[in-house]
Structure 1
Amino acid sequence: MGQALAGISFWLGWALLALASMGTLYSLAAAVVVWRFFARTTSVGRHTEAVTILKPLHGAEPRLRENLASFRAQDYDGPVEMVCGVASADDPAIAAVEGARLVVDPTQHGANAKVSNLINMARSGPLAPIVVLSDSDIVVGPDYLARLVEALAQPGVGAVSCLYYGRGDAGFWSRLAAGWPSYQFLPGAVFAVAFGVATPCMGSTIALRRETLERIGGFKAFADVLADDHAIGRAVEGLGLKVAVPPMLVVHACDEASLGALWRHELRWAATVKGITPGAYAASVIGFPFALALLGAMLASQGWSVVAAALAARLAVALVVDRVSGARTMPLWWLPVRDVLSFAVFVASFFARSVDWRGARLRMAQGGRIRAASETPR
């Protein structure tokens, strides 16, 4: 029995090492693709169409005032209104709102609190011809709106979304958390966009015309959908329009103050993606070559050269991302820990049946829909 288990462990170890070798090649290819993607130059014309920016807020964030201010400091020729929404008059996020219209409305329209917030903001006043949705933890440059509207003006484009890298705002755990969007999410997303494998639509930014929003049923159509950003993108594509992802980066500000907060946040994201595209998500295991190689080497008692090669490839990815973003997300010597933690979240996501969203427990249902964990299944 012992010999049989040892044999299984040995061959499983080598299978993991083979998978890690594939992941190493993928990582090197992703580093090249990321560099080339952001090396592209795009011209930006002068646009004057009115824009409404919707910012759903909930709770205090370390640099929320600064994050919001970046959306007001835009080099854009047309009129821009920013609308911030909260569900409670005592929400601490209100203190950070300046130069924007504030909507306080506790009305809940479905299980997705963020979408309820968007519905309340949208019905509080008229929207401009161009509507931009963006999460509270996003920071942008002064050419952000001009580049969005330029991309939206291209033929056949129905929505525009933005790729992002991480920035830690609350100490060690937030900086470690920031490594995930920078070094795990971003390379995979760029690779998918560059080769036409997928066109992600992300909460970092969704820009679309008001008439397009109305044609897809408004925000109410997504009130019980966990991945509302993804669902909006697919609805736009259902109209025969494209979701464009231009070669520009915004910042995702991470505020995780503990390992528990990091784990809950990343597990929610991972479980959401798994529920949307389970096959593609499972195949993304090759994006963890270092963790795979490390586990394989321990089981097979050899193959440590594969571990070294995998780590070198992951360092290449991190260096390229830091170069194109113009910022060092986290110390590079943290990368092995970050990669092992990312792989642990990946494995755990296959067993997740509910997720935490800002303190609310949401039970995942079929088709990417959600309900409060306390609700009785219908």
Structure 2
Amino acid sequence: MLAILIEVFTALLTLAGLAYLLLALWGARDFNHYWRRRGLAAGCAPDVSILKPVKGVDPQMYAGLVSHCQQQYAGRFEILFGVSSLDDPAVAEIKRLQAEFPECAIRLIECSERLGTSGKVSNLIQMLRVASYEHVLINDSDIRVSPNYLTRVMGSFADSSVGMVTAPYIGRTAQSRPSLTLWSRLEALGISTDFMPGVLTARKLEGGIHFGLGSTLATSKAALAKAGGLESLVECLADDYEMGARIAAAGYRIELSAEVVETSVPAYTFRGFRDHQLRWARTVRDSRKLGYLGLAITYALPWAVMTCIASGFDLWSFTLLSVVLLARVSVALAVGVGVLRDGQVLRDLWLLPLRDFFGLVFWLWSFAGDTIVWRGERFHLRGGRLHRA
């Protein structure tokens, strides 16, 4: 009887996962059709301040900084870099950037105050005080963008109901060993074939995006003030998610841009991969509690394999596994290649089962504690807020 119950349980989870994969395909199709119909609003190019908090020098960071200086944008823009100390190694890179692009308005801001647990948000508050323009765009230090990034992102503000624009992203790995590790490949594959399909599914089911992604947070000072300001986020780990959620709650619409940006994936060891995955998992767990519980069904492939084992490898279970595998690969290609244009997905498609098994393991592991490691510091996460360990 116990064996039958386990078989039924895993089969039901597999079917639920298959339904999710079909929804993810629907979400990807809807996103592509939306941007084909809508297009880019011509003539909308508001002046914008780009706020980039930096700490240390990340892999490929300088190439990402250069890409922001090469924007083909009709409006005016400035780039503000915030550091907690002028002794930070990133300062030399910023000065190098100023020398290489003297025509760009680049400012280095020393953010000497520590206004809360999150050093990143603390720096952003101090940078916002001196930003020249009403519109601001926040993204991470290692983000790399196309020359049309500002044009495509800021063009969405032609619609007065839009209070924030966020953007999908891919993880860019090194091209060869030793920096191209198995764990960095699994990280990048997860972004394009697991995380972003979830975002597109949420967009379809919830009638739009109601949160932000740290790859791009474009908004206005007025929308931020109405949402409670950056000060209200200074104890939050998921500041990008919360910023978007609060702007949406303030009555604004959030737009998910068709512009895809890149983030650099380090040459992870297993430990680094584990720490990052647990930080992400526990962040989502505290930000979207009900949604995170439902995340278990998205791992259809592991559940299908377990169903095969539980059924004693009956023929019907192999049929179900085959259908699930086809759907999972279809989602990976539709989102990873069709929406995100991430060629790495084709390179690492064979790793998809391993990535999904790790995803399920980390989902379970995330409930075993509340400790996270963030830029070398350990914190306890309680109710979405950071506490020093």
TM-score, L = length of structure 1: 0.90
Residue in structure 2 matched with residue 151 of structure 1 by the alignment: 156
Distance in 1 between residues matched to 2:197 and 2:370, nearest whole Å: 27
Alignment of 1:1-378 (within 5 A): 7-39=1-33, 40-41=35-36, 42-97=39-94, 98-99=97-98, 100-123=106-129, 125-169=130-174, 170-172=179-181, 173-196=183-206, 198-302=209-313, 303-320=317-334, 321-330=336-345, 331-366=348-383, 368-373=384-389
Distance in 2 between residues matched to 1:291 and 1:9, nearest whole Å: 18
Q: Provide, for residues 317-337 of structure 1, a one-character-per-residue CA deviation record: whole Å limited to 9, x for no partner.
A: 122222332232241111111
Distance in 2 between residues matched to 1:127 and 1:213, nearest whole Å: 15
Q: Is there any run of 5+ residues in structure 2 with no aligned partner, and where?
A: 99-105
Q: Provide, for residues 123-178 of structure 1, a one-character-per-residue CA deviation record: whole Å limited to 9, x for no partner.
A: 3x233111001112322222221122221231311111112222223412222211
- Offset at 1:33? 2.9
Distance in 2 between residues matched to 1:329 and 1:107, nearest whole Å: 41
Query: What SS does the aligned partner of 1:350 have?
Result: helix
8 Å CA contact retained: 1:177, 1:256: no
Shift of the 279–126 alpha-carbon distance from structure 1 to 2, 3 Å rule, reads closer
Q: Provide, for residues 57-79 of structure 1, a one-character-per-residue CA deviation record: whole Å limited to 9, x for no partner.
A: 12222211111122222121111
Deviates more, 1:282-291 or 1:235-244: 235-244
- Offset at 1:36? 4.1
Aligned CA RMSD, in angstroms, stands at: 2.0
Distance in 2 between residues matched to 1:204 and 1:54, nearest whole Å: 12
- Offset at 1:179? 0.9
Query: How many percent of aligned residue pairs carry the same amino acid?
Result: 30
Q: Provide, for residues 170-191 of structure 1, a one-character-per-residue CA deviation record: whole Å limited to 9, x for no partner.
A: 4122222111110001111111
Distance in 2 between residues matched to 1:298 and 1:200, nearest whole Å: 39
Q: Provide, for residues 295-339 of structure 1, a one-character-per-residue CA deviation record: whole Å limited to 9, x for no partner.
A: 232233232332332222211112222233223224111111111
Distance in 1 between residues matched to 2:87 and 2:180, nearest whole Å: 26
Deviates more, 1:339-348 or 1:190-199: 190-199
- Offset at 1:364? 1.5
Distance in 2 between residues matched to 1:201 and 1:126, nearest whole Å: 21
Query: What SS does the aligned partner of 1:82 have?
Result: strand
Q: Is there any run of 5+ residues in structure 1 with no aligned partner, and where?
A: 1-6, 374-378
